[in-house]
Amino acid sequence: MQFDLTNIPNQNDKIAMITGASSGLGQAVACSLAQIGCTAVLACRSLEKAEQAKHNMMQALPHAAIDTLSIDLSAMDSVRSAAATFKKQYSRLDILVNNAGIMYPSFTLTSDGFESQLATNSLGHFLLTALLIDAMPDQSSSRITWVSSLAHRTGKIHFKDLHMVSNYSKAAAYSQSKLACLMYTIELDRRLKMAGKKIISNAAHPGAVRSNLSRNMSPWLMTALEYTLLPLITHSTQSGSVPILQASLSLESPGGQYYGPQGFFELKGPSGLAKIAKQALNKAHLIKLWQVSESLTGAHFDL
């Protein structure tokens, strides 16, 4: 059955945190969650942009419950601070959408010594999830949604040089970070089920969307594509947000699912189950990545 947001019951008692919600996919997801009654917490690196996004959303949804939270996913101290602030303000968390991300920046090591895409897209969300999972009710409507990408299919976890110091590639680092998100999804789902928990860990990818995530790509290339290929293979952030909403809200999901567009090469189209690359299912690598991520971030999942 095709996912339809209008079939989802009112979510007035639910609290949802969406990272990277000041624009693009994150804002589209936050708007939809607020529209069906969730308290939407916009967790963003720029609090100023988050407040502007909140203002814009309130113009369209004047009765919505929308809050903001400052978080820099690339800095583990900021993640810890944000999680502590959230717990002081709220007694529970029902939906966590690990959406924030960067794409194709120049090589940078964060203050923690992590490659910037791996830190922002993956490790920061891994730590955030570990810090907040104990605030989630043990029920199937409690959701952790990791936003992956079609790029995970070309991804590889470079265990010998995880931060790609010796041989950096913008594209390879991005693919690694998005593969890691999907692997976290699968391994967390396994661990939740082993612990007898009902909380659901899912993943989603938006397909090819028109958003500011591609801001680090070549301007002349993006301009050329804007008037040729992009209109044929991309869709709006609103359409791209549907798989993320399905992962976060579908009443039929058993957990450990990966959702995405069902059209040509999964670039656009109605949402449904997406293809998972075989490297994301390697059991030994799933466990190894989890253990390495725990060691790097100091994360501990209280399951």
Mind listing the pLDDT tens digit for each residue in 194-219? Answer: 999 999 999 999 998 865 544 444 45
From residue 98, give the alpha-carbon distance in Å to each of 83, 110, 222: 13, 19, 26
Considering only CA atoms, which of 87, 51, 79 is closest in space to residue 66? 51
Backbone torsions φ then ψ of 49, nearest 5 degrees: -70, -35
CA dist 172 and 178 (Å) reads 10
pLDDT for res 6: 87
CA dist 240 and 193 (Å) reads 29
Based on the number of CB atoms within 10 Å of its own CB, is 167 exposed (0-12), middle (13-18) or buried (19 or more)?
exposed
Burial 225-234 (b: 16+ CB within 10 A, else e): beeeeeeeeb
Going from N- to C-terminal start, the domains of the chain cover 11-297
Alpha helices, H only, 120-194 = 124-132, 170-194
pLDDT for res 1: 60
Mind listing the pLDDT tens digit for each residue in 284-298? Answer: 999 999 999 999 999
pTM of the model: 0.93
Is the domain spanning 11-297 CATH 3.40.50.720? The answer is yes
Spatial CB neighbours of 244, under 8 Å, sequence gap ≥ 6: 25, 29, 97, 99, 145, 147, 204, 206, 259
Beta-carbon-side half-sphere exposure of residue 47 (alpha carbons within 13 Å):
7
Any idea which residues carry the catalytic annotation? 174
